[in-house]
Structure 1
Amino acid sequence: MLQMVKADEREESQGPLRQDADSSGPVPSTPPHLSHDPATNAKRTDPFQFGQRVLSETDDVFEYNAWDHVLPDSAHYEYCESQYAAQRATPVSDFDRARFNEHPEKWWDLFYKQKTSTFFKDRKWLVQEFPVLQEITRKEAGSKVVLEVGAGAGNTAFPILRLNENPELKIFAVDFSKKAVETMRSAEDYTDGNGIMAAEVWDAAGDSLPPGVEEGSVDVVIMIFIFSALNPKQWQRAVTNINRILKPKGEVLFRDYGRGDLAQVRFKAGRWMEDNFYVRGDGTRVYFFEKEELEEIWGGSFDVLDLDVDRRLIVNRQRRIKMYRCWIQGRFQKKSLEPLAE
C-alpha cells in the first residue's frame, strides 16, 4: 500500500521542481545526469519536456527528493481505485453539496481573508514553461493584453509585471473573490504598476466580460489551477467566455491537476461530490482532469497546440515514503475564422 505524508488538502505545484537553468541555448548532446548540473546538461528548449531526472531500474529511488516522468506501478493504481471507492461510499451531504456549489466565491473570500498573500509563492517558473510571456514583455513587443483568470493574490501577475519592459502591455488580473482582488490592489507592486496592471472581480463562468476588457481584445489568457475550481457544469460557459475575450489566434496558457494526483488520492470521508470532483476542508472545490477530457472540453473552440501530463515522484528520503504528483499543462489557441473563398 502506498504511504503518504499528512499535508494540507490544497497542494498546488509551485512550478516544476527542477534545478534547470533557463531554456536558452542549444540542447546538450550528452544525456542528462541525475545531478541536474545546470552548467552542463539541464538546459532545454522544449517547455513541455518537464524535467530530466529520469528513474531507471538500477537507481536508488531514495537517492533524490524528486524524479520526473515516473509512471506509477500497478500497486499504486490499485490503491488509488480503493481510495476512490471509499470516497464515493462517503460523499458530501446533500446540504453541504448545495452550499458549497451555490456561492463558491464565499469560500474563496474566507480563504484569502485567512491566507492573504502568503500562501502561494510567486510563479516565476511560468516564463520558462510558457515562452510567449517572455515575448510579450519585451520592450519592442508593442500593444499586448494579458488576462489572468483566477489571479488570487497576484502570484502570476506580479512576476510578469516585474519582468515587463513593454510600455504598451496591459495586464488584467481577475478573480471572483473580492478579498483576493483587495489583496492584489493593496500590494506595493500594484501601486507601482503605472497603470499596466488592473485587478478586477470577475466570474469566469458568469454572463459578462471582465470590467475594462472588450470582446476579441486579449492576446494571452492565463489559467493556472483555476479551471479545476469550477463546477463541471460551468466548464462550457467558461470556455465560451474565454473564446469571446481572445483575439483570433490568441492563446490560453493552462496548468491544472491531473487524475491520480496525491491531492486527490488522500481525500477522506465527506469530501467527494462526484467523480474526480471534491470539496476541500476550507470549502473550496477542486476537480482532477484526464488529458483526453481536456482535449474534448477545449478542442471544439480551440486548437490544442500542446497538452501533456507532468508526472513527478516526490520522495521523503528520511521516512522512505513515495508520493505521486500529476499535473496537466497545455496551450490552446483560438481558432481563426478564415474568410470563405469567392
Structure 2
Amino acid sequence: MERFQTDNTVSQKKQPRQQLSKAMEHMRFAVTVDPVPHATPSTPPIPDSIPPTDTKSPPETDAYGVPASYEPVRNPAARSHSPSNNQKRTDPFAFGSRYLEQGDDIFEFNAWDHVEVDPSYREFSEQQYEKQRADPVSDFDRKRFNDNPEKWWNTFYKNNRTNFFKNRKWLSQEFPVLDEVTKGNAPPATVLEVGAGAGNSAFPILQKNRNEGLRLHACDFSKKAVELIRGHELYDEKFIRADVWDVAASEDSENGGLPPGIEEGSVDVVLMIFIFSALNPKQWNQAVRNIWRVLKPGGQVLFRDYGRGDLAQVRFKKGRWMEENFYVRGDGTRVYFFEQKELERIWGGEEQGLDEESSPLFEVAHFGIDRRMLVNRQRRLKMYRCWMQAVFRKPGSASEVPTSTIRQDKDATETEET
C-alpha cells in the first residue's frame, strides 16, 4: 500500500516491522531462530498409543460448598501425528497438552507447553542478571517508585484504560473451582479478586455465571482501575462490587484493613492473578495475613504470577533492578519474579519475619510451573515465558466455627482430616 503526497510527489511505502524492538535488540542471538529450525525434544518420547486416563470421581465439596478441586483441567499429551488423540489441533485449544517433540516444526504453532530453555539462553539470562545488578535503579527513583505505587498504576490505567489486557477466558480451565461456583445449581459463594485491574478476570467470570447466589468483589488499589470496572457495561451490583483496597493495608486502617463490604471469614475464593508481583517484598507478610483473615476455613487462594527466568525479566536493561528479582518497569509499575520454593515459604508461613505465634499456615493444595515457548513466525522469534500457578488453601472445614485469631484457627485444625 502506498501513500502519495501532492506537492513533492514522493511515494512512501509502509516500512516492514523490525524484527526486534529496541528493548530486545541486545538479546538477538538468544531469541532469534535459524532459517532451518531444528527442534529438540523437551519431554520423553510419547508413545503412539496412549492408555486411557483413570476416571476420577466427582470432587468432594469443601468448606461452605466450595468444591475441593485444585488441579487444572489437562488433556493427555499426544504426538502430533496421532489421529486418535491429536491435542495439537484441538479446538478450542487447551493449555498444557502441546508438547514440542523431535521433528516438529516449531513454527507450526504459536505456542508450546513445558519447554525448558536451551543452554545458550540460560547462560545469557544469568549474564543479564549480573548486568542488571551492576547498574541498579537510583536511590531517588527507588524511593519515589516504592513510596506511592498506586500513583503509577493510576497513570497506567489512565493511559491504557481497558485495551491493554485481554480477557482471561482461560481461568476456569486453570482453576476448576471457578467453573463449579458459577453453575446454576451451585450454593451461594463469595469470590474476592485482588488486583482486579480493568475487570479482565471479573467480567469473563460473570459472563458465564449461572449462580444467582454468586457475589464477586473486585478490588484494586488504583482508583482509576476501579472507575473502569464500575463504568463497564456488564457492571451489575447484584453480582459484582468494585472498591479501592490495598491488599497490604495494616489492621489499623479503615475497615480493619479488610476490603470495603467484606467481613473477616466471609470469602470462599480469593483470586490473585499477577498482583502479588506488584508488591514490595516488605509487603508480602501483611498481604498474606489479610488474605487469611477474609477467607473462610477451607477457602482457596487462586494464584498466578511471574516466575524467575521469564522473558520479561531477562529483557530488563540498566536502571531497572531494585533488588534481587524485583524491578521497576518503564511506566513506573513494579514487578517481582518468583521461585516455587519461595512462594511455598511465603504462603506456608515460613518466610522470615513472620512470627510463629501468628503465622498464617496455608496448605499448598496445588503448585505448577507453566513454562511456555511462544514463537513469532513472521519475525522468526522464540520467547520463553515462565509463570507460577498455585492453589493455597486455608485449613479447616465448614463444621468449624471461625475463630478470632490466626493461631487459634491453626490449632483447631491440626487433628482434623482435610
Pairwise same-fold verdict (TM > 0.5): yes
Alpha-carbon distance in 2 for matches of 1:54, 1:133: 26
Aligned partner of residue 161 in structure 1, secondary structure: helix
Aligned partner of residue 63 in structure 1, secondary structure: coil
Q: Given the two structures, how large is their TM-score scaled by the length of structure 2?
A: 0.71
User: What stretches of structure 1 move > 6 A for 4+ residues in a row?
Assistant: 25-30, 35-39
Structure 1 stretch displaced more, 108-117 or 66-75: 66-75
Report how far residue 86 of structure 1 moved: 0.8
Report how far residue 277 of structure 1 moved: 0.4
Aligned partner of residue 54 in structure 1, secondary structure: coil
User: Structure 2: which amino acid aligns with 1:200?
Assistant: D
Q: For the Cα contact (< 8 Å) 1:259–1:276, is it kept in 2?
A: yes
Which is bigger in relative contact order (C-alpha 8 A, separation at least 6)? 1
- 29 and 39 in structure 1: CA distance in 2 versus 1, 3 angstrom threshold: closer
- 30 and 131 in structure 1: CA distance in 2 versus 1, 3 angstrom threshold: closer
Report how far residue 38 of structure 1 moved: 11
Report what 2:78 is aligned to.
32
Q: For the Cα contact (< 8 Å) 2:277–2:305, is it kept in 1?
A: yes
- 167 and 204 in structure 1: CA distance in 2 versus 1, 3 angstrom threshold: same
Alpha-carbon distance in 2 for matches of 1:51, 1:293: 23
Gap runs ≥5 in structure 1: 10-24
Alpha-carbon distance in 1 for matches of 2:86, 2:384: 28
1:309 aligns with 2:369: yes
Q: For the Cα contact (< 8 Å) 2:110–2:375, is it kept in 1?
A: yes
Alpha-carbon distance in 2 for matches of 1:299, 1:101: 26
Alpha-carbon distance in 2 for matches of 1:69, 1:36: 19
Per-residue Cα deviation, 1:192-241 (whole angstroms, up to 9, x for no partner): x2521000000000121000000000000000000000000000110000
Number of corresponding residues: 317
Report what 1:243 is aligned to.
292
Q: For the Cα contact (< 8 Å) 1:205–1:238, is it kept in 2?
A: yes
User: Structure 2: which amino acid aligns with 1:149?
Assistant: V
Report what 1:13 is aligned to.
none
Q: For the Cα contact (< 8 Å) 1:308–1:330, is it kept in 2?
A: yes
Report what 1:269 is aligned to.
318
Q: For the Cα contact (< 8 Å) 1:36–1:53, is it kept in 2?
A: no
Report what 2:382 is aligned to.
322
Fraction of identical pairs, as percent: 60
Alpha-carbon distance in 2 for matches of 1:181, 1:290: 30
Report what 1:165 is aligned to.
210
1:90 aligns with 2:135: yes
Q: Given the two structures, how large is their TM-score scaled by the length of structure 1?
A: 0.86
Give the counterpart of 2:241 among 198, 204, 210. Answer: 198
Report how far residue 68 of structure 1 moved: 1.1
Aligned partner of residue 287 in structure 2, secondary structure: helix
Report what 1:260 is aligned to.
309
Structure 1 stretch displaced more, 331-340 or 286-295: 331-340
User: Structure 2: which amino acid aligns with 1:172?
Assistant: H
Per-residue Cα deviation, 1:110-164 (whole angstroms, up to 9, x for no partner): 0001111111111111011111011111122122100000000011111111111
Alpha-carbon distance in 1 for matches of 2:200, 2:414: 43
Alpha-carbon distance in 2 for matches of 1:233, 1:143: 35
Q: For the Cα contact (< 8 Å) 2:78–2:85, is it kept in 1?
A: no
Q: For the Cα contact (< 8 Å) 1:257–1:288, is it kept in 2?
A: yes
Give the counterpart of 2:197 among 148, 152, 162. Answer: 152
Report how far residue 7 of structure 1 moved: 8.2
Report how far residue 243 of structure 1 moved: 0.3
Alpha-carbon distance in 2 for matches of 1:33, 1:236: 44
Alpha-carbon distance in 1 for matches of 2:298, 2:83: 37
Per-residue Cα deviation, 1:236-277 (whole angstroms, up to 9, x for no partner): 110000000000010000000000000000011111101100
1:292 aligns with 2:341: yes
Q: For the Cα contact (< 8 Å) 1:222–1:254, is it kept in 2?
A: yes
Per-residue Cα deviation, 1:84-121 (whole angstroms, up to 9, x for no partner): 11111111100000000001000000000111111111
Root mean square deviation of aligned Cα? 2.7
Report how far residue 166 of structure 1 moved: 1.0
Report how far residue 30 of structure 1 moved: 8.0
- 37 and 131 in structure 1: CA distance in 2 versus 1, 3 angstrom threshold: farther
Aligned partner of residue 188 in structure 1, secondary structure: coil
